[in-house]
Amino acid sequence: MSLWVDKYRPTSLSKLDYHKEQAAQLRNLVQCGDFPHLLVYGPSGGGKKSRIMCLLRELYGAGVEKLRMEHQTLVAPSKKKIEINTIASNYHLEVNARQGGRSVLFHLLFHCFTSYFIFFFIASHLISSSFSLLHILFHLLFHCFTYFVSTVMLETRTRVVIQELIKTVAQSQQIQSSTQREFKVVLLTEVDRLTKDAQHALRRTMEKYTATCRLILCSTSTSKVIGPIRSRCLAIRVPLPSTEEVCSVLTAVCKKEGLLLPPELAKQISERSGRNLRKALLMCEACRVQQYPFSADQEIPVADWVIYLRETANAIVSQQSPQRLLEVRARLYELLTHCIPPDVIMKGLLTELLNNCDGQLKTEVAHLAAYYEHRLQLGNKAIYHLEAFVARFMAMYKKFMEDGLDGMMF
């Protein structure tokens, strides 16, 4: 028994529940036999992946659904091995763009360091007579070294992963090319997480292997995808389904399960889920587990961390003191330990806090959150920025409340 989300995922373009016009266009695209690189974007839970998988099935038949997890080992130019996980069928390969970065970095650093020290050792033997010369040399070397590392690192980090993978896929021709398409597909998820350099490398790779390979890029927004890539791809936007569409999907799924979903509950679920269909289906299934037959005013289960975050926000609003900040910090740590990414925490915290504060404060708080979210992306250790946001909110809120009190008194 698999989850409803997986069980009732549409498998062909004709079975899609919404954005039917777009589905028809996609089918036309595939029926021409060939298609350009695609860039599929849209908010999470809108059905990007489902659409892509439908497209692949349309292309290659049922074979694409036989997925296997693969553990690939790549060799970086530094001869270090990089391990990544991929999901593949005979016809396509799915890679998450975020993988492989960190390990490459460290291996490279280590590599560079060792070679640098050997070099330095030799040099110091050559000019052992003069200390000052050695000193100068050291500085020179150090500069060379930083330059060397920086170029190598930037070029290699994720680029290696992407390029190598695509190369292996692209270089192996389809065996049964008579019956099948003459290209394979590489599906790259979370393209917006790629660094600029990796994206540039991707651009070159895209051009090089057009004959044997098509790329489908998948991302939540195009703003972090560089222009050259955007222009090389056919951009397909997959918007979120409307509330009614979510409701109809939920009802249809429940019907297939043999359940009766009251329309009020369906509506409530779709609103609660923020029109994120995946979330909506999970919520619906959780409702089913919680209680059946459904009642219209049933409480909808929410993810634990959301409740936890709400409580954290309440804690912030109810009292502003260093001690309370310490408690909030512990809660933030707890959230981080439970795999909630810092930017999601920041966003959730902001939404909860905005609910709690007055209209006048809202702009300031949003500005504050944007400021620290930006730093969160740039910075190194998330907790500093999260905590700075909370602390400054506390100070601001406290001042606002005190001013309000003063205003009341006079």
Partner 1 sequence: MDWLTVGDKAAAKRHNRWVDPSFTDLPLQHKNEVKRPRKRKGDASSSDQIFYRPNKQSQTDEDEPWVDRYSPSCQAELAVHKKKIEEVENWLRIHTTTSKGGILLLTGPSGCGKTTTVRVLAQELSIRIHEWTNSSNMESYSSSSQYEFRMNGLSYSSQSAQFREFLLRANKYNWLKIVGDDGTTDKKLILVEDFPNQFLRQHGSLHDILRQFVRSSRCPLVFIMSDSVNRDSSSRSLFPKDLQEELNITNISFNPVAPTAMMKVLTRISTVEAGKSCGKMCVLDAAALESLCSGSSGDIRSALNSLQFISFPDKALWTRKDRHVPSGIKQMKKKRSKKTKQMDQEPAIGGKDASLFLFRALGKILHCKRGNHGSPEAAQCAPGPALPSHLAHHQRDPLLITPEMVVEHSHMSGEVFNLYLHQNYLDFFSEVDDVAEASKYQSDADLLAANWMTRSTMRDYGSSVATRGILYSNTRHTSVGFRPLYKPNWLLVNKNHQENCLAAQSLFGSFCLTPVSLQTELLPYLPKLSNPLRNQAQLRFINDVAQMSLRRFPCRLKLETLTDKDPGELKIDAEEEQEDKQCQDGAEAPHPVTDHILLDEEDLIIDEYDSD
Task: Return the residues of window 90-109 that contact partner 1 according to CB under 8 A.
Answer: 94, 96, 98
CA 390 to chain centre: 25
User: Judged by CB under 8 A, which of 88, 186, 265, 340 binds partner 1?
Assistant: 340
Angstrom distance (rounded) from CA 245 to CA 231: 31
Q: How far is the CB of 183 from partner 1 (least distance, A)?
A: 22
Angstrom distance (rounded) from CA 299 to CA 287: 8
Q: How far is the CB of 211 from partner 1 (least distance, A)?
A: 28
Question: Does position 379 bind partner 1 by CB under 8 A?
Answer: yes
Question: Does position 17 bind partner 1 by CB under 8 A?
Answer: no
DSSP string, 383-410: HHHHHHHHHHHHHHHHHHHHHHHHHHH-
Residue closer to partner 1 by CB (options 175, 339) is 339
| x/- track of binding to partner 1 for residues 36-55 (CB under 8 A) | --------xx---x------
Question: Does position 337 bind partner 1 by CB under 8 A?
Answer: yes
Residue closer to partner 1 by CB (options 94, 164) is 94
Choices 161-169, 176-184, 250-258, 301-309 (CB under 8 A): range interacting with partner 1 = 301-309
Q: How far is the CB of 147 from partner 1 (least distance, A)?
A: 10
Choices 73-81, 172-180, 358-366, 384-392 (CB under 8 A): range interacting with partner 1 = 384-392
Nearest-CA neighbor of 158 among 81, 100, 94, 211?
100
Q: Which helix (H) or strand (E) holds 71?
A: strand 68-75
- Taking CB under 8 A as the criterion, which residues in 241-300 touch partner 1? 276, 278-279, 282-283, 285-286, 289-290
Residues 315, 321, 322: CA angle, nearest 5 degrees: 110
Q: How far is the CB of 379 from partner 1 (least distance, A)?
A: 5
Choices 22-30, 110-118, 205-213, 324-332 (CB under 8 A): range interacting with partner 1 = 324-332
Residue closer to partner 1 by CB (options 74, 209) is 74
Residue closer to partner 1 by CB (options 198, 283) is 283
Q: How far is the CB of 354 from partner 1 (least distance, A)?
A: 18
CA 264 to chain centre: 32
- Beta strands 213-219 and 184-189, pairing class: parallel
Angstrom distance (rounded) from CA 186 to CA 340: 28
Choices 14-22, 54-62, 228-236, 371-379 (CB under 8 A): range interacting with partner 1 = 371-379
The answer to whether the beta carbons of residues 51 and 26 sit under 8 Å apart is yes
Choices 111-119, 206-214, 239-247, 389-397 (CB under 8 A): range interacting with partner 1 = 389-397
Angle, in degrees to the nearest 10, between helices 304-318 and 342-356: 50
3-state DSSP percent of the chain in helix, strand and coil, to 5: 65, 10, 25
- Beta strands 92-96 and 81-88, pairing class: antiparallel
Residue closer to partner 1 by CB (options 128, 321) is 321
- Taking CB under 8 A as the criterion, which residues in 184-243 touch partner 1? 189-190
Q: Which pair of tokens denotes residue 191? A: 């393209």
| x/- track of binding to partner 1 for residues 57-96 (CB under 8 A) | ----------x-x---------------x-x------x-x
Nearest-CA neighbor of 393 among 382, 401, 405, 404?
401
Q: Count of residues for the chain?
A: 410
The answer to whether the beta carbons of residues 161 and 74 sit under 8 Å apart is yes
